Amino acid sequence: MNICVVALGKIGLPLAVQFASKGHRVIGADVNEKVVELVNAGVEPFPGEHDLDVKLKQAVDAGLLSATTDTASAVAESEAVVVVVPLFVDAEGTPDFGWMDAATKAIAQGLKPGTLVSYETTLPVGTTRTRWAPMLAEGSGLTAGEDFHLVFSPERVLTGRVFADLRRYPKLVGGVDEASTARGVEFYEQVLDFDERPDLPQANGVWDLGTAEASELAKLAETTYRDVNIGLANQFARFADQNNIDVKKVIEACNSQPYSHIHQPGIAVGGHCIPIYPRMYLWNDPAATVVRSAREANAAMPEYAVDLLAAAYGDLTGVNVLVLGAAYRGGVKETAFSGVFPTVEALRARGAVPFVSDPMYTAEELAAHGLPPHAGEKVTAAILQADHAEYRTLTPADLPDVTVLVDGRRTTDPEAWKGVRRVVIGG
């Protein structure tokens, strides 16, 4: 097959490499000329994706993967088009379709009869049928479900482990009609491999969800579930703090039977997915009070962590406080909706002087994100925001002047911090 992958970002490029590894010819389309240049040279344009550097070079050297900035021409050469263009949303979850609209119009210019178009970017329910189908039809003169196939098939992977996750989780597919769904299932069966999963209700592989709307909802639902679950865990943790209970022991006890799956509380929920997709769901379903309450509970956790610091340290006015970790989660160089930003804001609101350090970021990179880098200034309090592996071995010797540490992720070793006030969320 000839396949076009539109947008060679942290999900799109590994997908393109995966398709090429199955022997298909893949053309990656991206608006960033530098990304296209690097991909054509067999060089990964971003760090941190396991095995991408090796697999990308193999695909390019084999002549199975190339990149271009001309989306329309790449689509014209392809039998299947997979779209992974970012969809931006504001703090309330209102989508900004600008980039996706532009990409869709470019796809329409090159669209031929019989082509499969699959959107993988997470979308509000109904978007594939009511926005993309008419836009593709207008630009191509072709009708979805009659002249070309159109499906929604959400990406379900985490950056850093995309190739493993592609094998681990079923691929969900739903189309605008039965023929589109069938073609989508057939396509993904040709480009993906799957691990054995005896724990699943049906064989691991490509799962037919029937409609694009069902597939869109599945993606929003699975991510919203995580946000709601974390919100519940955070509520339990705050209650545990008030009553001198170790919530970690409670959660472990609850999860010892198969009907309880309580997640872990923490200082923040960040990244492109969990803080955003529940708001996108609320855009579809504004009456979902449970979803809204959980999102509000999780958004309040950075300020709560600063409250814990103030309760343990005292007045924070003029106090130099080090925030450990700018990334939204450990081991990933990404600050999208990271808890570092509201944590810094909450410290400033208390009169503190915040500084930020992160083993994955230079001082210049932190400053470029509007974060005050730590350059050796004396700090007497600290808040751990990201669960980087490096922090597991952090000791008071690394922060000799710190008298209170709020470990927002339970990452540090409590034995190593005896003699220093170490506070965790939930007891």
* H-helix segments, 8-154: 12-21, 33-40, 52-61, 71-76, 98-110, 127, 133-140
Whether 2-220 and 301-424 share one fold: the answer is yes
425 neighbors 301 (Cβ within 8 angstroms): yes
d(CA 370, CA 382): 19
Q: Is the model's pLDDT at 397 over the cut of 80? A: yes
Residue 322: is it exposed, middle or buried by C-beta count within 10 angstroms (0-12/13-18/19+)? Answer: buried
pLDDT above 70 coverage of the chain, percent? 100
Q: Is the dihedral of CA 353, 359, 364, 370 positive or negative?
A: negative
Q: Is the dihedral of CA 31, 37, 41, 43 positive or negative?
A: negative
pLDDT at 105: 98
151 neighbors 186 (Cβ within 8 angstroms): no
Q: Is 76 helix (H, G, I), strand (E, B) or coil?
A: helix
Mean pLDDT, residues 278-304 taken together: 96
pLDDT at 88: 83
Q: Is the model's pLDDT at 158 over the cut of 80? A: yes
Mean pLDDT, rounded, of the chain: 97
Residue 168 — pLDDT band, cuts 50, 70, 90?
Answer: very high
Closest CA to 294 of 217, 229, 221, 219: 229
Mean pLDDT, residues 23-44 taken together: 98
pLDDT at 349: 98
Q: Is 169 helix (H, G, I), strand (E, B) or coil?
A: coil
Residue 307 — pLDDT band, cuts 50, 70, 90?
Answer: very high
Closest CA to 324 of 352, 360, 357: 357
d(CA 248, CA 269): 18
Q: Is the model's pLDDT at 89 over the cut of 90? A: no
User: Which residues on neighbouring strands pair with residue 384, listed in sequence order?
Assistant: 324, 407
d(CA 240, CA 253): 14
Q: What is the pLDDT of residues 367-385, one digit of tens each?
A: 999 999 999 999 999 999 9
Q: Is the model's pLDDT at 112 over the cut of 80? A: yes
4 neighbors 108 (Cβ within 8 angstroms): no
pLDDT at 30: 98
d(CA 324, CA 165): 29
Q: SS3 for 325-349, per residue?
A: CCCCCCCCCCCCCCCHHHHHHHHHH
Q: Is the model's pLDDT at 360 over the cut of 90? A: yes
Q: What is the CATH topology of the domain spanning 2-220?
A: Rossmann fold (3.40.50)
Kind of pairing between the strands at 320-324 and 206-211: unpaired
41 neighbors 64 (Cβ within 8 angstroms): no
Count Cα neighbours of 154 within 13 Å in the Cβ-side half-sphere. Answer: 28
pLDDT at 206: 98
Residue 90 — pLDDT band, cuts 50, 70, 90?
Answer: confident
Q: What are phi and psi of 295, to 5 degrees?
A: -60, -40
pLDDT at 48: 84
Measured N-to-C along each axis, helices 289-299 and 277-284 cross at an angle, to the nearest 10 degrees, of 150
Centre a 10 Å sphere on the Cβ of residue 295 and count the other Cβ atoms it contains: 24
Query: What would the two tokens of residue 25 be?
Result: 């010819």
Burial code (b: 16+ CB inside 10 Å, e: under 16) for 332-359 equals bbbbebbbbbbbbebbeebebebbbbbb
Predicted model pTM: 0.92
Mean pLDDT, residues 220-236 taken together: 98
The CA dihedral of 137, 143, 149, 151, to the nearest 10 degrees, is 60
d(CA 179, CA 177): 6
User: In the block, which residue shows the tokens 């997915």?
Assistant: 273
d(CA 210, CA 242): 48
Q: Is the model's pLDDT at 93 over the cut of 80? A: no
pLDDT above 90 coverage of the chain, percent? 96
CATH number of 301-424: 3.40.50.720
DSSP string covering 183-201, please?
HHHHHHHHH------TTSS
20 neighbors 62 (Cβ within 8 angstroms): yes
Mean pLDDT, residues 177-188 taken together: 98
d(CA 415, CA 413): 5
pLDDT at 185: 98
Mean pLDDT, residues 48-55 taken together: 94
pLDDT at 154: 98
Residue 119 — pLDDT band, cuts 50, 70, 90?
Answer: very high
d(CA 224, CA 232): 12
Q: What angle do CA 134, 138, 139 make, to 5 degrees?
A: 120
- What ranges do the domains of the chain cover? 2-220, 301-424
pLDDT at 261: 97
